[in-house]
């Protein structure tokens, strides 16, 4: 719908698991973002990639590891997460220096 897809849509994992979230954009954008959306909290910016280079790491714990192999794909690698990491993880993309960001549908993550 928005040109930004995310997989999986739902993920349940244990604290010792390793998993990855995938985001793909079909809009020709060159900046991509990861956000965390928790209940009763504003969307929190986690990482920003601009022209495939990480330009923002918003004090995110090292158990979250982003990867941007090209301008169309963005991954978030997860390992040894905590239950408080359960949230909706949203990917967005934009043109560099553009104001409007286009969001994917999110991955609903539950950490047991």
What residue ranges bind another protein (CB under 8 A)? 2, 4, 31, 33, 40-43, 45, 48, 50-51, 55-56, 90, 92, 94, 96-106
* 54, 57, 63, 65: CA torsion to nearest 10: -10
Nearer to another protein, 17 or 101 (CB): 101
CB of 15 to another protein, least distance (A): 26
Cα 16 to Cα 22: distance, rounded to the nearest angstrom: 20
What CA–CA distances, in Å, run from 9 to 3, 24, 43, 44, 49? 15, 13, 18, 19, 22
Q: Which residues pair with 89 in a beta bridge?
A: 36, 107
Nearer to another protein, 81 or 94 (CB): 94
Cα 45 to Cα 56: distance, rounded to the nearest angstrom: 9
CB of 34 to another protein, least distance (A): 12
Nearer to another protein, 15 or 98 (CB): 98
CB of 87 to another protein, least distance (A): 13
CB of 38 to another protein, least distance (A): 11
Nearer to another protein, 12 or 96 (CB): 96
40 sits in which H/E element: none
């Amino acid at each position: 719908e928005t040109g930004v897809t995310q997989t999986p849509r739902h993920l349940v994992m244990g604290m010792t698991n390793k998993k990855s979230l995938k985001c793909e954009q079909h809009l020709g954008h060159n900046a991509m973002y990861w956000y965390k959306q928790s209940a009763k909290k504003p969307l929190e910016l986690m990482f920003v990639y601009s022209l495939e280079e990480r330009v923002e790491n918003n004090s995110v714990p090292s158990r979250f590891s982003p990867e941007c192999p090209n301008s169309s794909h963005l991954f978030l690698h997860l390992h040894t997460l905590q239950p408080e990491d359960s949230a909706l993880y949203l990917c967005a993309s934009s043109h560099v220096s553009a104001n409007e960001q286009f969001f994917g549908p999110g991955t609903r993550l539950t950490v047991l």
